[in-house]
Structure 1
Amino acid sequence: MLPTRIRTTLATVLALSCLSAAQAAAPTDDPQGMTTRVAACTACHGKQGRATPDGYFPRIAGKPAGYLYHQLVNFRDGRRQYRPMTHLLDHLSDDYLREIAEHFASLEVPYPPPATPGLAATVLAQGKALVLKGDAAREVPACVRCHGDAMTGVAPAIPGLLGLPRDYLNSQLGAWKTGQRHAAAPDCMAKITARLTSTDITAVAAWLAAQPVPVPSKAVERSALAQPLPMDCGGVQ
C-alpha cells in the first residue's frame, strides 16, 4: 500500500485535475491565474516545483522548458506511465502544456543540500566513472556528453541530472531499461539503459544524487558543449 502522504497527494491531484481542465478554457495571461492552474502540479512536486522529500516527485522548477513540455506531452500521450499524471493532462492542449512548462522553467529557487549516499565507495566510484567517462566497450556515452559538463542540462530540451532524489533517478533509469518509460523516437535513453546493468543504474543514481548543485544551476546553451551529441535523440534538435 502507498504511504499515507502519497495517497493523500494523489487524491488532491485527482480533485485539482477538474479545476485544471476548467482553467484550460480560461484566458492564460493572468500571472495570478497561473498559480491556480499549477496547483495540481505543486501538490505533488512541492511549493514552486521544488520537489518533496518523498523521493518520487522530482523537482521541476528551473528545468529547461522544452524538456518539461516534452514530458507533459509524453504523459498525456502514453509514452510515460503514471495514471494521476495522465488523468490530469488528458484533455489539455499543446499550447496550455507549453505555458505550464515555461512557467516552471522560469523559476529560480535554491536547491537543498544533497543527501548522504550511504553506499560503498566502490559503488559510487562506478557511478562517477559512467557519468563522467561512460563505457566505450559497451557503447555507453558519458552522461556529461548530453547533459553538460556541470550536469545542469542543455537548453532547450535536455534536463539537468543534479538535485534529484536517488530513488527517482533509480526508478526512471530502471523504467527506461524495462520499457515502462518511452520518449519520442529515436529513444536514445532506452538504447543507453539497455546496455547498463542494474548495478550500473544503482551506482549512477547514487553518485548523481550525492553531488551538490552548482550556482548558477540553469541549463547551458547547446554551443557550450565541447563535442556534438553522441547519438540522435527524439525531441532534441
Structure 2
Amino acid sequence: MKKLIAGVVLGLGLTAMAHGAGDPQAGEQNAAVCAGCHGQGGQKPVMGVYPKLSELGERYLYNQLTLIKSKERMIPEMTGLLDNMSDQDLQDLAAYFDSQEMIVSQADPDLVDAGAQLYRGGNLATGVPACAGCHNPQGKGNEPAGYPHLGGQNAEYVSKQLKAYRDGTRDSGLNASIMMDVAAKLTDAEIEAVSSYISGLN
C-alpha cells in the first residue's frame, strides 16, 4: 500500500512539473499591463526590438520574469512593473503567455540559406554549435531544460539578445553561460542571418 501511495504521489508530482505551476486564466488577468509593449497575448509587440512572449515555454518565461523582478536581468522598460506581483502571479503570467500561439514572422529570403546553415549545422570552423541542438530543429525549444521556443520570434529582438550575450550585458539565468560562449563566436553577419531565419521558422 505504501508503494502504491508513493507511486501516486510521485505521478501527481511529475504531472504538475510537466504542466507547470501556473494558471493561464489567472495569468490573463495580470497580462493587460504587458499588452502595451508585447501586444495582446504577447503575440504582436509594438516594436521589433520587443519580444513575442507567446508560446516561449512556461519554465523559461517564469525564470525570466523572476530575474527581471529581482533586477538580476535589467530591462529599463520593465522597471517596477513586476514589483507587486507574487511568485504565483509570475507563474500564472508565464502559463498564460505560454498558452498563446506564436505568430510566425517572415524571414528575409536573401538570408535564409545562411541562417538555416547556422541554425541547423552551426559553424564547424569557428566552433559554433547548431542552434537546433538546444532549441529544436523546428524552433520549438526544450521546455524541461528551460530552453525557449525561438521559431517565429522577432528577428530584431533575437539579434539584440545575441549581441547582448556576446558583449556580456546579458549574463543572468540558468543557461546564460552557454549562450555567452556561443554568441562570442558569432559575427554580425551570422547574427543577422540566423536571427532572420529564426523569425520565419515554424
**Cα offsets for 1:131-189 (capped at 9, x unmatched):** 00012332211000000121111113111211111111111111111112123256210
- Is residue 2:147 matched to residue 1:158? yes
Call closer, same or farther: CA 1:86–1:130 in 2, change over 3 Å: same
Deviation at 1:90, TM superposition (A): 3.1
Q: Identify unmatched segments of 5+ residues in structure 1.
A: 1-27, 214-237
Question: Which residue does 2:74 correspond to in 1?
Answer: 81
Deviation at 1:116, TM superposition (A): 5.0
Call closer, same or farther: CA 1:150–1:35 in 2, change over 3 Å: closer
TM-score of the pair, normalised by structure 1: 0.67
Question: Which residue does 1:228 correspond to in 2?
Answer: none
SS, match of residue 96 in structure 1:
helix
Question: Which residue does 2:19 correspond to in 1?
Answer: none
**Cα offsets for 1:49-80 (capped at 9, x unmatched):** 11225212222122210000111112123343
Please say if residues 146 and 154 of structure 1, whose CA atoms lie closer than 8 Å, have aligned partners that are also in contact: yes
How far apart, in 2, do the equivalents of 1:29 and 1:174 lie?
A: 34
Which residue of the other structure, out of 99, 113, 129, is the alignment partner of 1:141?
A: 129
- Is residue 2:105 matched to residue 1:117? no
Q: Identify unmatched segments of 5+ residues in structure 2.
A: 1-21
Q: Which structure has the higher relative contact order (CA within 8 Å, separation 6+)?
A: 2
Matches within 5 A, 1:1-237: 31=25, 34-107=27-100, 109=101, 111-112=103-104, 114-115=105-106, 117=108, 121=110, 123-156=111-144, 157-184=146-173, 187-211=177-201, 213=202
**Cα offsets for 1:209-229 (capped at 9, x unmatched):** 233x2xxxxxxxxxxxxxxxx
TM-score of the pair, normalised by structure 2: 0.77
Please say if residues 49 and 59 of structure 1, whose CA atoms lie closer than 8 Å, have aligned partners that are also in contact: yes
Two-structure CA RMSD over aligned residues (Å): 2.4
Please say if residues 49 and 154 of structure 2, whose CA atoms lie closer than 8 Å, have aligned partners that are also in contact: yes
**Cα offsets for 1:67-122 (capped at 9, x unmatched):** 00111112123343211323212343333211211122223x3625x32516xx3x
